[in-house]
A and B are shown apart, each in its own frame.
Chain A
Amino acid sequence: MADPEIKSYEPLHESRSAAVTESRPVRITLTIVTLVFLGVFLLLPLIIVFKEAFAKGVGAYFQSLGDADTSSAIRLTLLVAAISVPLNLVFGLSAAWAIAKFEFKGKAFLTTLIDLPFSVSPVISGLVYVLLFGAQGLLGAWLKAHGIQILFAVPGIVLATVFVTFPFVARELIPLMQEQGNGDEEAALSLGASGWQAFWHVTLPNIKWGLLYGVLLCNARAMGEFGAVSVVSGHIRGLTNTMPLHVEILYNEYNAVGAFAVASLLAGLALVTLVLKTLLEMRYGAELAATRGH
């Protein structure tokens, strides 16, 4: 019986797991429950999306993607993401900078406020803009008088998307920047760097992976957002339909191949995001460790 002796030389987590772990049947049961759950609720829908998309062959798939309204929805989604992601990058960076590096009154309140879009239903987020910019809304009359169209147009969609995706970058950066503190920036300033140089040469490189991670999540949500956008878009085909909205319309018209073809693009985006996210976590796990909660 020399086996137990040899085992004690294995890595720490191995030997410790012996004391902590559950019995074999329990482990197997837990694993099966998890796998079944993941299979039914995540993997199966994903497979069905692609199966339905290609139900009538590859030709039909690409034909439905080439449809004028569909390609306009794709273009609109890309446009909205291209506007709202950079905006939130700047907003998120400024907010994180302010919260992590300075002490001021109402800081805790601001931190809570940043999380608001996460805690509020996206439909409500959209509704807020309707109440604000709609014809009967607070600014509606003024906007109409000046010929500015926000609701049921691209600006409204961008605003709703910006609102919903605001927390991603900020939430990613705040803990990271708090952990890093001001030391490096102080060092840069003491060496004669201007505030901008300190930011560009020191702060940004220190947070770049966290920033990228936040942007990635922000982009995924910006392209996939349905609720808030649905309220403000007006569903005008070829004009204010984003991809998620277009999927719904196609589906309601019993155009399964079209709906699932667009859905497959969104699913593909999700997969790419997941892969990139995993790669980032693998490569820069230590630097991202400070960012909890995702």
Chain B
Amino acid sequence: MEVRVVNVRKEFERFPALHDVSLDIRSGELIALLGPSGSGKTTLLRLIAGLERPTKGAIFFGEEDASQKSIQERNVGFVFQHYALFRHMTVADNIGFGLKVRHGAARPPAQEIRRRALELLDLVQLSGLEKRYPAQLSGGQRQRVALARAMAIEPKVLLLDEPFGALDAQVRRELRRWLREIHDRTGHTTVFVTHDQEEALELADRVVVMSQGRIEQVGTADDIYDTPNSPFVYSFIGESSSLPVKVENGEVWIADRPIGLQAPHAPSGEAVLYFRPHDVDLLDGCSGCIAGTVAASRRVAGTRRVELEVGGERQRVEIELPVDHPAAQKSRVAFRPRRWKLFPAA
């Protein structure tokens, strides 16, 4: 099922949580809403589910306007951050709940509900645990039951709120791979919320980066990482370094010297240069480069992080060197970003 969010605005007590957000989610896609806390990602997810009503705008499921429908009518599978399993019901009863509360002819006979619950339990690899209560399960197992319960109603869309937020790192990685497998097998259109960029980039077909109630960028992991379209995305996703620069006649300057980067389309004036610390060329001589005094050097896993003081203003900037690179021993290092982007000075 294709989901379209059109110009949605949401206010809580006059406080805007989402400003005019639009998003197209393709059928069968696995999409991540990524952002820091307070960015509105969970609000957007709850709006799609129907747990909240938009202040303005509409949400379409296919061609149908879903925004006026109640959550029951929308038929979405929602997996809550803390699972919200019914603690007084067994695992099988939890999974069967959505079928049991149906009315009249839509309600399958008890045996069919049970069969379906066991089938889903098998899908989430928890066969044999149907008689357990939620309190008797581990966090990862509860997460799987919550997913099975959401899938039992054959939802049009599967929505997951911080699905791995409450789990430890090991289980998290395992479940991530497993969720991807389930998605590929069942083909549900799936939206999940996360503040963990690694999770978003690894798991999702496309990532929606959000900040302060707005969508900053939508794209594949490659798009987001390689061509961030705003300073926020640059600094939020992966490591980034920035330097205040000046643009004159299509050339980038730091203080009184050009650094050998051409920006023919950038307007002249103050700007900020963004690049990835590892995405730099080290240079020997320096005609057209960024040169700085080594202020600090740290070993980080397989690389060395070097902090440089650049220019008269002693702006600090970080670059990454191979561990055994001779430049790390020097007191001055010259480099030029390989991939970079200019943004107007704030």
Question: Are A and B genuine complex partners?
Answer: yes
Residues of A whose CB lies within 8 Å of any CB of B are 183-184, 186-194, 197, 201-202, 205-206
Inter-chain CA distance A188–B84, complex, in Å, is 9
Inter-chain CA distance A186–B84, complex, in Å, is 8
Inter-chain CA distance A190–B88, complex, in Å, is 18
Inter-chain CA distance A206–B50, complex, in Å, is 24
CB–CB A190/B97 < 8 A: no
Q: Which of B130-156 contact A (CB under 8 A)?
A: 149-150, 152-153
CB–CB B82/A191 < 8 A: no
Q: What does the 1/0 interface line of B13-45 toward A look like (CB < 8 Å)?
A: 000000000000000000000000000000000
CB–CB B97/A191 < 8 A: yes
- Residues of chain A contacted by B78 (CB below 8 angstroms): 186-187, 190
User: Beyond A186-B51, A189-B71, A189-B72, is A194–B101 a contact (Cβ under 8 Å)?
Assistant: yes
16 more contacts with CB within 8 A, not counting A190-B76, A192-B72, A193-B101, are A184-B84, A186-B51, A187-B78, A187-B85, A188-B97, A189-B72, A190-B50, A190-B150, A191-B97, A191-B98, A191-B150, A192-B98, A193-B97, A201-B97, A202-B86, A205-B86
- Does B80 sit at the interface, judged by CB under 8 A? yes
CB–CB A183/B71 < 8 A: no
For chain B, give the interface size range: 20 to 34
CB–CB A192/B101 < 8 A: yes
Neighbour of B88 across the interface among A189, A193, A194, A206, CB < 8 A: A206
- Residues of chain A contacted by B152 (CB below 8 angstroms): 191
- Does B339 sit at the interface, judged by CB under 8 A? no
- Residues of chain B contacted by A186 (CB below 8 angstroms): 51, 78, 80, 84
CB–CB B75/A192 < 8 A: yes
User: Beyond A186-B51, A205-B88, A206-B87, is A192–B153 a contact (Cβ under 8 Å)?
Assistant: yes
Closest 6 CB pairs of A and B: A191-B98, A187-B84, A183-B84, A190-B78, A193-B101, A205-B88
CB–CB B49/A190 < 8 A: yes
30 cross-chain CB contacts under 8 A = A183-B82, A183-B84, A184-B84, A186-B51, A186-B78, A187-B78, A187-B80, A187-B85, A187-B149, A188-B86, A188-B97, A188-B101, A189-B51, A190-B49, A190-B51, A190-B72, A190-B76, A190-B77, A190-B78, A190-B150, A191-B101, A191-B149, A191-B150, A193-B98, A193-B101, A197-B101, A201-B101, A202-B86, A206-B87, A206-B88
Residues of B whose CB lies within 8 Å of any CB of A are 49-51, 71-72, 75-78, 80, 82, 84-88, 97-98, 101-102, 149-150, 152-153
Inter-chain CA distance A138–B169, complex, in Å, is 69
- Residues of chain B contacted by A205 (CB below 8 angstroms): 86, 88
Inter-chain CA distance A192–B101, complex, in Å, is 7
- Residues of chain A contacted by B76 (CB below 8 angstroms): 190
Name the distance in Å between B127's Cβ and chain A's nearest Cβ: 22
User: For residue B95, which residue of chain A has the nearest CB?
Assistant: A191
- Residues of chain A contacted by B80 (CB below 8 angstroms): 183, 186-187
- Residues of chain B contacted by A192 (CB below 8 angstroms): 72, 75, 98, 101-102, 153
Name the distance in Å between B199's Cβ and chain A's nearest Cβ: 22
Name the distance in Å between B50's Cβ and chain A's nearest Cβ: 8
User: For residue A202, which residue of chain B has the nearest CB?
Assistant: B86
Name the distance in Å between A110's Cβ and chain B's nearest Cβ: 19
CB–CB B86/A184 < 8 A: yes
Name the distance in Å between A136's Cβ and chain B's nearest Cβ: 48
CB–CB B84/A193 < 8 A: no
Name the distance in Å between A212's Cβ and chain B's nearest Cβ: 14
Inter-chain CA distance A202–B87, complex, in Å, is 9
Inter-chain CA distance A194–B102, complex, in Å, is 9
Inter-chain CA distance A190–B150, complex, in Å, is 8
- Residues of chain B contacted by A197 (CB below 8 angstroms): 101
Inter-chain CA distance A23–B85, complex, in Å, is 49
Name the distance in Å between A208's Cβ and chain B's nearest Cβ: 8
- Residues of chain A contacted by B51 (CB below 8 angstroms): 186, 189-190
